[in-house]
Structure 1
Amino acid sequence: MASNTSSTTTSSGGEPHTCPVEEVVLVVPETDDPTLPVMTFRAWFLGLTSCTVLMFLNTFFMYRTQPLNISAVLMQILVLPIGKFMAATLPERSYTVFGRWSFSLNPGPFNIKEHVIITIMANGVATTGGGDAYPMGVITVMKAYYKLRLSFLCAFLIVITTQIVGYGWAGLLRRYLVDPVEMWWPSNVALVSLFRALHEKEPKTNGMSRMQFFLVFMTASFAYYLFPGYLFSILTFFSWICWIFPHNITAHQIGSGYHGLGLGAFTLDWAGISAYHGSPLVTPFTTILNIGFGFVMFIYIIIPLFYWKFNTFDARKFPIFSNQLFTSSGQKYNIDKILTPSYELNIDAYESYSKLYLSPLFILSIGSGFARITATLSHVALFHGRSAPEY
């Protein structure tokens, strides 16, 4: 959503009508200024630059034990002074390309539409699997665990093809997952509100302006993050159960926030609070309840039953939560013993060595990922299938 996007839609008879979502109507303006330039040199330059920088930073921070996801809001804030600086310094004369297309490096003041386009470009990478391309994990495993050397072209093709497949599915399911008005998301409304706060003039008052309020709290949040992020990392996840029983394995399995069920553990780190479903400030309460119900069902009911009660797949031989591979005896799996020199699976070696086992929590997390995809499509088909827009 952007502020140049009207909150009115058009009916089949061509008559505009107000969006039925009240939150959208209250935040997104219904007016538009078609004279504002959009696809300018500044928009392309800052959009591609912010997209590249954000992709690098999120991929870099992906390898932390507690991954730090940098959202597009950061770029939304940073590009504003840069855009205004470019508007004040770039030359205003026009240039012609191939004798047909002309453009100006500086078509006028940096406007809200350019800002929106730049943020959309940055948001394109900030929303792909936690801010990094999912195939980066495949490339990392190939280099770190299998010692394979990949050329840049090969790695690039792996990433771009898988990303295109994802966008292709989004295009095929657009009429069900994108176009229906029920598919609105509050985080986009929050972005629109920030755009308006940054660009629209507000009446002068004796109190603190919206921009001053924003800068003060942004500085305070940055200063606070130094404590859980660097100075006192215990604030990231503190488990009082592990603290009371430092040598009890079962206590660590139940209470650890890193390698257990996290019962009783708490965090003062915003990155830990928003790591799974994003900021709770913009997530609908019903969604938070839904996620909380699923979390309790999986973590505190299904996992203990599988692990301690039924010992499913000899689960008690392995850590309750780990991303490692294990043998049938609970030892770390040596992949090299079941691979040929050309890194193909040797079936005879696999059968003589051991079957491959995963920790129970890791297995269920993979299974729940497939279940979420099926649940999303089933929900949309059952509740909104008949109201999908026609093309």
Structure 2
Amino acid sequence: MFERVLVANRGAVARRIIRACNSLQCESVAVYSDIDAALPHVAEASHAERLPGYQPVDTYLNGETIVAAARRAKADAVHPGYGFLAENPDFARDVEAAGMKFIGPAATWLERMGEKTQARQWMQANGFPVHAGSEVIRDQAMLVKAAETIGYPVMLKPAAGGGGIGMTVADDPGSLKAAYATTTSLAERTFGRSTVFLEKFLQRSRHIEVQLIGDGETLMALYERDCSVQRRHQKIVEESPAPEIQRSDIDDLSSRAVEALVGYDSLGTVETLYNEGRFGFLEMNTRLQVEHGVTEEVTGLDLVGLQMRIASGDRLSTLLPDRPEIDGYAVEARLYAEDPESLLPCPGHLSVFRVPDMVSVRIEASYREGNTVTPYYDPLLAKVIGKGATREAAIARALIALRAIEVKGVKTNAQLLCRILESARFIEAKLDTDFLSDLL
């Protein structure tokens, strides 16, 4: 096992990785921007390294600075968490070139799945179902022809993007040009590349994803998560197992994901859209997923610990000779510092921030009382996971926990999350990606 791991991230995910380091009896190194010095992950780590500045590009997105910090700290491995540099193949190579282990898949997998059209082509060539879509759009003529071939409405997506950023819907030829301009502009500003592609826009779909873990020789599917409740194409409620879908269909999806990704060597998630009884590939996240805790709760596994042990050379066949059975249900709600009306980030000073300690409830917080939520990073305050023998019990526990959290100094989406979880439609598992727009 590694002796010292640098955690190249912040907030809730950094704290989660530090806990995994503690359980594996290896030291942890936190990194922090100037504005994050008081965050709990800094105090909880064995060591800490400053990243000068506060803008993401100067700190958590600055691979050169992070590698230098890891060298100073004498780390023998780097865990990127999620977001920031987690899926950047150049960063992975730089870490390895510096004599440290990158805790994640090989850079070739990061490249293969990082460009969305290339990932789509790979999955389709390896027998995984896809919905109608295009290659990277080269010009206006190709744009118009691709949209006509796919059929309206179409979704325009950044080819190098993720996180729901820059995705725009064109309902008809009249709105196509404006949607293309919007998506290319956002793609250039956010991801540094203006390339886009088209997919059929499937309304009232379910977002179903399969959790994978592999070591390059063995690959295992650890069940699925339903992430259909979203705002601005970003997940805010996740659960496992997915309700109201035949188990045989989920098992078939999982088997096809494993067959398509032979040789994959870390944690990864295959995301799909489920529409009219058919799954279609959406993207693959070659990293630890934000909602990994949902799977941990229903399997009893430590996914982060397993990922680290695989990176250190342990074999999955030894660590996990058999796939565990699903035990109960888990529902996660993401608590954000955001305006409940506009759903836009709401930075501020957390004069009060108290979370309950409850049985069958797991809360992973990014902050503690007295911290400041800044406008520079993701405004996630905490992930709240309810666990129960039944789906109803899991929902009830998540609701109780959300109502018990005390926050002053910033606005939050707590009331919206409660409204979602207690709605008849959610309780009846009538879920799709239009759920929130219908509710509001």
Q: TM-score range by the shorter chain?
A: under 0.3
TM-score norm. by structure 2 comes to 0.21
Q: Larger % of strand: which?
A: 2
Q: Larger % of helix: which?
A: 1
Larger Rg: 1
